[in-house]
Amino acid sequence: MARKWAGTAIVIYFLILVFMYWYLFNGDTSLPEKWVGTAADPATFLNARELMLSEQYSQIRNFMFFAYNAFDWIVYFFILLFGLSRVFERVAASQSKWRIVQAAVYLFLLSLLSYVVTFPLSYISYNLSKSYHISTQTFSSWMKDGLIDFWVNFGQMVIIVSVLYWLINKSPKKWWFHAWILSIPFFFFMMFIQPVVIDPLYNDFYPLKNKELETEILKLASQADIPAEHVYEVNMAEKTNALNAYVTGIGANSRIVLWDTTLNRLKEKEILVIMAHEMGHYVEKHIYIGIAGYLILTFAGLWLTARLMNSIITRYGKVLKITGIGNLSSLPLFLLVTAMLLFASSPLSNFVSRYQEARADQYAMEMLQDKDSAITMFQELTRSGLSQVNPPLLVKWFRYSHPTMLERIISVENYHTVEK
């Protein structure tokens, strides 16, 4: 039975790969005739080589995204199907009577196996980015970040899994609700410590060196009634050629952050457009909408996960080597179900995110009234990331938390500046 299920899973996986390859490499990503020759047309701001590379890189990167997600699912499925999860549980139980120690041992074995099995795809993704000159990171630096990821995720998961399975065993019917309640303070705690504890593990953050630019950014913040005292830059040039800026954290630990690549490649007016965009999120209270969305999706996700896990274990527990939902050996099923639910819900969450990003773009235009700088900034973002201006629909649904560059540039083109 296990061999039959494994064979079926492999066939389904390869059918997914074949479909996505056909869809991504044969889809029409050309611009509507109306926008050919305009500022939204990549042929007007990219040379022939950049056009070719952006199409190639985007196609391969998008294919890797779908391939990696489906591969994660099949890894969890095989860990259950071939009894590896039950072996890990027995090893963990033999090490200690303490549940938190058992969870730590089990998670280490599961995480190590997952890391090793998925490493080839991760390396292919890294090498792809390197070969197209998006990544500038050395192999040793990339490995260091990977190991930091491993231990940061491991530490968080030990806490989450220990509490989760304690709740499952204490309240088999309502564990998902109690887990949702406890996830709320944990979510805020992680948001609070992210800028000052976790992010500095990967990169160095320091106050913006260009004090004149910082003054201009803080002026914009003051106009928007944003309580900001400092702007930070982060040394990303040793890792990437891509551009980025963001606001992170909550309360006293909130930060406005600019990548040094953004500072090096964009003009001051273009940087101010990005900063005005980020401030638009604050003014529009998108952080509160995001928190509300997180609470709703987490509630629905945990409820669905509980129902699906109970149903699957009842019908297929013997095949998957799971004797009960309260056993640690059921964790890969929990991870599989939640991963698939997150993937399935991503078109909805991305749709909401794209709306918010469009609103932030609109706010930046209203604040600065600078169409030219906004357009050249979007064009440079396209060039630096070798992005498709008009990606295929499925890519937009599942990958794009921001409007496409076509939509963003068109929105700026259509904006009517106000005479001051």
Question: For residue range 189-240, what is the model confidence (pLDDT) as tens digits?
Answer: 888 888 888 889 998 888 888 888 988 888 888 887 777 677 889 999 999 9
pLDDT of residue 143: 95
Low-confidence winner among 28-32, 334-338, 407-411 (lowest mean pLDDT): 28-32
Distance of CA 299 to the CA centre of its chain: 20
Average pLDDT over residues 288-299: 90
What's the pLDDT at 253? 67
Decide: residue 331, CB within 10 A, 0-12 exposed, 13-18 middle, 19+ buried.
buried
Q: Could you tell me if residue 72 is inside a domain?
A: yes
Asked if residue 273 has pLDDT above 90, the reply is yes
From the candidates 89, 260, 270, 361, which is the catalytic residue?
361
In a domain? residue 265:
no
In this predicted structure, the answer to whether residue 419 has a pLDDT above a threshold of 60 is no
Over the chain, what is the mean pLDDT? 91
Average pLDDT over residues 68-95: 95
Q: Is 277 annotated as a binding residue?
A: yes
| Annotated catalytic residue 380 | no
| 402 assigned binding-site residue | no
Catalytic residue among 278, 372, 407, 419: 278
Residue 420 in this model has a pLDDT that exceeds 50: no
**Count of the separate structural domains present in the chain:** 1
178 is in an annotated binding site: no
User: What average pLDDT does this structure show over 395-412?
Assistant: 94
- Structural domain that includes position 166: 2-202+285-414
Q: Tell me the average pLDDT across 239-260.
A: 81
Residue 166 — pLDDT band, cuts 50, 70, 90?
very high
Question: What per-residue confidence (pLDDT) applies to 418?
Answer: 57
Q: Are 182 and 166 in contact (CB under 8 A)?
A: no
Average pLDDT over residues 286-307: 92
Place of tokens 């629905």: 300
More confident residue, 123 or 255: 123
Residue 76 has pLDDT above 60, yes or no: yes
Q: What is the pLDDT of residue 175?
A: 95
Angle at which helices 268-283 and 211-223 cross, to 10°: 30
For residue 286, the model assigns a pLDDT of 87
Is 81 within the bounds of a domain? yes
**Residues 412 and 375: beta-carbon distance below 8 Å:** yes
Asked whether the predicted pLDDT for residue 277 surpasses 70, the reply is: yes
With respect to residue 141, please indicate whether it lies within any of the assigned structural domains. Answer: yes
How confident is residue 188, by pLDDT bands cut at 50, 70 and 90? confident
In a domain, 235, yes or no: no
Question: Is 14 within the bounds of a domain?
Answer: yes
Looking at residues 379-397, what average pLDDT do you find?
93
pLDDT at 252: 64
In a domain, 273, yes or no: no
Is-contact 333 313, C-beta < 8 A?
yes
Please check the confidence at residue 290 and state whether its pLDDT lies above 90: no
Catalytic-residue membership of 407: no
Burial per residue of 24-56, b for 16 or more beta-carbon CB atoms within 10 angstroms, e otherwise: beeeeeebeeebeeebbbbeebbeeeeeebbee
- The mean per-residue pLDDT over the stretch 61-75 comes to 95
> CB–CB of 361/277 below 8 Å?
yes
Is the model more confident about 104 or about 416? 104
Phi then psi for residue 277, to 5 deg, are -60, -50
Does the residue 239 lie in any domain?
no
